[in-house]
């Protein structure tokens, strides 16, 4: 199954699309998209995703859920940066030409009490027999908040609020394994704590506006 909504002046991805379980190819090129919904991860059979000529500043980390993705085209957007999770996809073609890739400042935030509480809940949810999994069914707002969780690039543990946002420069061929030459691209790296930032040596850098 394939679907094309190209050249329709769309600013958001229609939510009905994520319910198309058999969708293999999606063309959203030449629109006005500024973000992808978290639910994009529901498209488990999607093989080709065309997002060129939009207004995307970055790709959603939930694209990691598109486990069958082979072709990704985000050329000619605003200033696309790539989530660290893209390293875990099996894509073999990546197109990102004509994007000003490095025009963002690193984002930092303090870890507050709500973050500590969220991590306790997230940890308990890994246990299928935990009471938290049962109680979560009766709190839709909490489920929605926890749906925004991410995994730290160093520890790979789930967290809610980003402590520090960095960038890592990688070879699209060597690291992502794509066949075409997309060159060196920046991956957005999210760190969850000072401890992770100081683990060993890593090649994560902050990016400043020129």
> Domains in the chain, start-ordered, CATH in brackets?
2-103+173-183 (3.80.10.10), 113-148 (no CATH)
Burial of residue 74 (number of CB atoms within 10 Å: 0-12, 13-18, 19+): buried
Please answer whether residues 78 and 101 qualify as being in contact, where contact means their C-beta atoms are separated by less than 8 angstroms. Answer: no
Report the 10 Å Cβ neighbour count for 76.
18
The Cα 135–Cα 108 span in angstroms is 32
| pLDDT for the residue 39 | 87
Note the pLDDT of residue 49. 96
Q: Which residues contact 117 (CB under 8 A, 6 or more apart)?
A: none
Whole-number Å distance between alpha carbons of 115 and 121:
10
CB 55 within 8 A of CB 32: yes
pLDDT at 53: 95
| Mean pLDDT per 10-residue segment, the chain (210 residues) | 95 89 96 91 94 90 89 87 82 83 46 53 69 69 68 74 76 86 83 72 62
Encode pLDDT of 92-141 as tens digits: 899 988 877 654 444 444 444 455 555 666 666 667 777 766 676 677 77
């Amino acid at each position: 199954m394939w679907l094309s909504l190209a050249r329709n002046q769309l600013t958001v991805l229609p939510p009905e699309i994520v319910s198309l379980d058999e969708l293999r190819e999606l063309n959203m090129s030449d629109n006005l998209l500024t973000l992808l919904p978290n639910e994009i991860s529901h498209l488990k059979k999607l093989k080709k995703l065309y997002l060129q000529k939009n207004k995307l500043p970055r790709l959603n980390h939930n694209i990691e859920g598109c486990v069958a993705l082979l072709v990704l085209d985000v050329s000619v957007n605003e200033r696309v940066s790539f989530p660290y999770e893209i390293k875990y996809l099996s894509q073999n073609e990546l197109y990102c030409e004509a994007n000003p890739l490095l025009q963002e400042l690193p984002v930092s935030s303090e870890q507050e009490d709500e973050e500590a509480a969220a991590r306790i809940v997230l940890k308990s949810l890994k246990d299928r027999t935990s009471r938290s999994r049962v109680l979560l069914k009766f709190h839709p707002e909490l489920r929605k908040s926890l749906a925004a969780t991410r995994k730290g690039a160093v520890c790979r543990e789930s967290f809610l609020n980003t402590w520090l946002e960095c960038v890592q420069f990688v070879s699209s061929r060597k690291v992502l394994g794509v066949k075409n030459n997309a060159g060196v691209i920046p991956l957005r790296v999210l760190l969850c704590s000072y401890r992770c930032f100081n683990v060993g040596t890593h090649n994560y850098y902050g990016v400043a506006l020129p």
